Structure 1
Amino acid sequence: MLPLIDLTDGDNHFCVRVRGRHRPGVLPLHDRLDAELELTSSFVRGRLPMTLSPADLRAWSACLDLLARGQDAVWRDDDRSPAITVLLHDEEYAAPAIRVEDPGRSDVLVVMPLGLEDGWVEGQRGLLERVLERWPSEVRETGPGVYEWRR
């Protein structure tokens, strides 16, 4: 497993770990990655399985760009997957916070404050780069529903 997101302040921990290719060798599904979201605090512990597409990884990169500019970011906000929001300054906690909402399966909402150190965005960018190096995109879509291997 390789972390894509790993945020902790010592007490609270949020991570998304990539486990590997979802369906290696199956042309349209080869670039999808199996992953697991995990939240841990003294009060709550939760896990959710996820499948990530290349578009999800590009969207996480765009979220990191927003966060680097001092803006909050929402990743994977659709009805089929958990929505992950990074709030740089949550008013209730007077600190950064992670908000995870799972409308598609469990209907659970968790908000967890995290005291993040300077440079954390760059650290997350490094994790994304490691995931992309280990599992590069090897499939391209040449038309709607038509795929081929990158050579």
Structure 2
Amino acid sequence: MTKTTPAEPVDLIRLEGEGNSVVIRVTGRSAAGSATLTGEVVVDTAFVRGTLPTWIDPGDLDGWRETLDTLDGGQDAGWREDGSGAELYIELDPDGERAHVTVTDHAMSLTEVTATVTLTDEWFDEAYDRLDETLRTWPLDGALRG
């Protein structure tokens, strides 16, 4: 039996530090039997706070794994740059400990926000674990299963 509505939402992406956070939270399925997930983008800084509804397709999950691989290799990376939803661009500082995360909403609010966060070696392990947890909670046909 497929679990369709968990007791708690799952944070697919959680970037935080320096008093800032950018979270992509999966809250459920768009419809029973659908491969599309519903969620929200949550940005919280001392200056800006906002939430934006979003949808996450199986290809977005594949793309997030590729984005993680690129970041783990020490390169800047973008996620959902094809315009399928709120876009993330993560630019690594040369020191390797911080990143500037830019969230761009081309469709609804036409807004772009950048927050500085901390990226540690442990963050990468947790990020891959979050992706795997999302896929376990909401198995998707065609999604990369790690």
- The answer to whether the superposition gives a TM-score over 0.5 is yes
Question: Which TM-score applies when normalising by structure 1?
Answer: 0.81
After the TM superposition, which parts of structure 1 deviate over 6 Å for at least 4 consecutive aligned residues?
Answer: none
Q: Secondary structure at the match of 1:119?
A: helix
- Match of 2:32? 24
Unaligned runs of 5+ in 1: 141-151
Structure 2 gaps, min length 5: 1-8
TM-score in terms of structure 2 length: 0.84
Residue among 44, 59, 79 paired with 2:63: 59
Distance across 2 between alignment mates of 1:132 and 1:84:
20
- Structure 1 pair 139/78, CA: closer, same or farther in 2 (3 Å)? closer
Give me the CA root mean square deviation: 2.1
After TM superposition, list the pairs within 5 Å mapping 1:41-80 onto structure 2. Answer: 41-80=45-84
Q: Does 1:34 align with 2:38?
A: yes
- Matching residue of 1:149: none
1:139 deviates by 7.3
**Over alpha carbons, which structure has the higher Rg?**
1
- How many residues align? The count is 134
Deviation at 1:119, TM superposition (A): 2.2
More relative contact order in 1 or in 2 (CA 8 Å, sep 6+)? 2
Question: Partners in 1 of 2:127 and 2:109 — Cα distance?
Answer: 27
